[in-house]
A and B are shown apart, each in its own frame.
Chain A
Amino acid sequence: MYAQMIKSEATQEDPEKLAAFQARIDAGEKIEPKDWMPLGYRKTLIRQIGQHAHSEIVGQLPEGNWITRAPTLERKAILLAKVQDEAGHGLYLYCAAETLGVTRDEITEMLLDGRMKYSSIFNYPTLTWADMGAVGWLVDGAAIMNQVPLQRTSFGPYSRAMIRICKEESFHQRQGYDIMMKMASGTPAQKKMAQDALNRFWYPSLMMFGPSDKESVHSEQSMAWKIKMNTNDELRQKFVDQTVPQAEYLGLTVPDENLKWNEETGHYDFSQPDWSEFFDVLKGNGPCNRERLAARNKAWDDGKWVRDGLLAHAEKKAARKVAAE
């Protein structure tokens, strides 16, 4: 999915090396794992890629919540395929993070004990089938806005992971919109579900871009390193401009009285989300924070005997092979 509120690390290193590094980035070169890189660049990327990977993993839960209740076999298959893709995205991203010198298990432990975050959007509940549409349309839509520019990010493995992920995400977004179309043109109850889903997911989707970062020092450093490609406000505006006509096409109402096309700017004016809610969710007080983290911890703890068992078997097998040679 994406990463939010990543603070870049301060770097105190040889100015000459730093200048040469910056020159490579400015020239559009990709930085590869074995290349020299500032410690701050490495640490910021581990945090950003790790958080992105965790978001993919936790993001399985709100959608997994509806797999067993999908209304048709086809919808069930599509949703399964989507959640499977997300687990796959998690895998590429953990691999990209590993090239920076952390193991998957290390950063998984950091997710589980709360030292690392995942995207706050997954702390909202999925309450009706229309939420499967809204998540695909709005949440994946917002994720794509964040991720498309990251295909050009300076770190090679991250950039390559993003290229693969973006292809699948745009498919997910179309599937989500397809569910919304069916619901919005369906029975009155279905239409009500669709509107309700939009009402609940609109502002949390706007929050996915993070608070305004116009004056953030951290953002400036990340943008110079091409770890961050656009400001949060630019991406949020782009998302609103793209999404409002799609809502109109569905015959649904965006829950914002101030939403208005502005001829002068060529963009929509819109209300900011309630940022105090955003910080509450970030602090652990979202509607589902406890459940999501508890589910991941339970999966990890319950799975320990499986991981240990398979590892022990692999070691025995290797030992038998050596003994036979």
Chain B
Amino acid sequence: MMDVGRHPNINLYTYSEVIEVNGYIGNFNVKVRKKARFVDETVCNACGECEKVCPVAVADEFQQGFSSRKAIYMPFPQAVPSVYILNNDDCLGHNPIACGKCADVCEQECIDFDMKDEIIEINVGAVIVATGMDVYDPTEMDEYGYTKHENVITSMEFERLISAGGPTEGHLIRPTDREVPKKIAFIQCVGSRSHSTTGNPYCSNICCMNTIKDSLLIKDHHPETEISVFYIDIRAFGKGFEDLYIRSKNAGVQYIRGLPGEVFEDPKTKNLTLIVEDTVANTVKDYNFDMVVLSVGVIPRRDGGAIQKLLTLSRTEDGFFMESHPKLKPVDAPTGGVFFAGCAEFPKDVKDSVTQASAAVARAEVLLNSDMISIEAITSECFTDLCTSCGICINVCPFNAIRGSDAKTGTPAEVIEALCKGCGTCAAECNFDALSMKHFEDAQIITMIDAMLDENPMDKVTVFACNWCSYAGADLAGLSRLQYPTSQRIIRTMCSGRVDSAFVLHAFEKGAPIVLVSGCHFADCHYIDANRWTQKRVEKLWDKLERLGIRPERLQMEWISAAEGQKWARTMTEIDEMRKNVTKEEVEHTKKVLKEDREKAEAKRAKKQSKKIAPKTNSPGAEISVPA
């Protein structure tokens, strides 16, 4: 930690948040809000005089509320930077009548009650997301009595009670009577591996070893303490882990396979009783303890949504950030130039966090070592002669990558390639074919539909799947060997936002019995919110189909993530059943109706175009509105 504070190549911004990220791989422009800490960190020498005179006492977050701190305080003794912070919410205020004592005693004169937040702008080529984790709050698991029984504590609270830097200076006592507990229970998997309404289904990875470590720490302090660990499985899979587990058992720690149904408290002694079914011994027994430690799991950061949005990241079903590939690109984010380190990606211990951090650095250095880097060739382009300057594209682009397109001046749209991320929503929404998506052009997709449906169309389900979520979800279904009917045929687009209404109608006109448009869940869209346009488009199509007497159910829309292989397989099976219910007559009717509708629209458009172009040749704005 100290090395970070004094490294000449590191600018450390604490009490700060990233509030804006613009740009792209190699060239991110980042705005950081450095919140006012009301203490000038360049001057404060951590003498601590301010803290002595501060009259406020509030619960100390670092000590898990077991002791108090002042309104002006050092976060913890080894804090980096080693400077004080004044919490404005706790402070009585710099009013001589109210207080201001800290400023009076500060010889360095570094307390500034008028300090303002500062916005700092930085340009970077790569970003490492190491936003960490939160800890599961066991309040909702009422059966363990965390909120009712004072001697039931969490493993994080235990850390402070056993730490030499903690409120008891490392003397392990229980909260109610401050006596050394003689019998301690640990309950594992609190909030993890749960398939009920509380907690999370995944294994939090670190809690087994953390409890083994804690049991050894207790035995170091008080070898006579009786310790029981209630568990589902002990996962001691890492290097040196099994040794620690054996050491703990040899020290006399009891490992009992089974979790208690409930924790009861004796109102007089405040001791705790656990009723546990031991699934190895096949017995149900009461166990009595002086203190119970809940081995709480790891959860994704509760404020993770902000970073997700700023960097257009995705999250897996469990809420942790999704990597580019679970096996081959485990530290790369799907957004170019962004990498993961630590628990932001999944729960991991210190060693794995350090390992992943170095891996993320190595991946970042692959970019940083080059002077020039290639950027995505798949961007949209505007054919200005077709552009009517209607401005729809500007409205739908999630990245503000299109400018111009002003109907008043007749300026056509212009795509800023470096900002375009290639979702293709503009190309799908443009009514005049003025915008085209490179590598996913209309003709390139229409030809796929034609090839797919020119033989036995009744046997096939036409599926449009976005590259990042649904296509990857289909990959996962295969990887998991989930079986489903052979009718599905996939057309991949980068985003479901690219799926033009014309593609769907074309498929139906070619005889498709069923069409599915599939994309990311709303919070997961790789292009911020481009899939909102997909939804709007599909809703419009449903209206249109209904108006034309075509069953709207034949057009299906599903949000399937990269983690939802099972949902993919299930959806394919269900849709195949729907396909079987579509009759040949129905399809023939659809083909006829859609053909007529298309021809009518084409005729109308041709007429409109000819009318529009005619007066333009005489108008003074003609040259600007239709540039060469």
Pair from one complex:
no
Q: Which residues of B contact A (CB under 8 A)?
A: none
Q: Which residues of A contact B (CB under 8 A)?
A: none
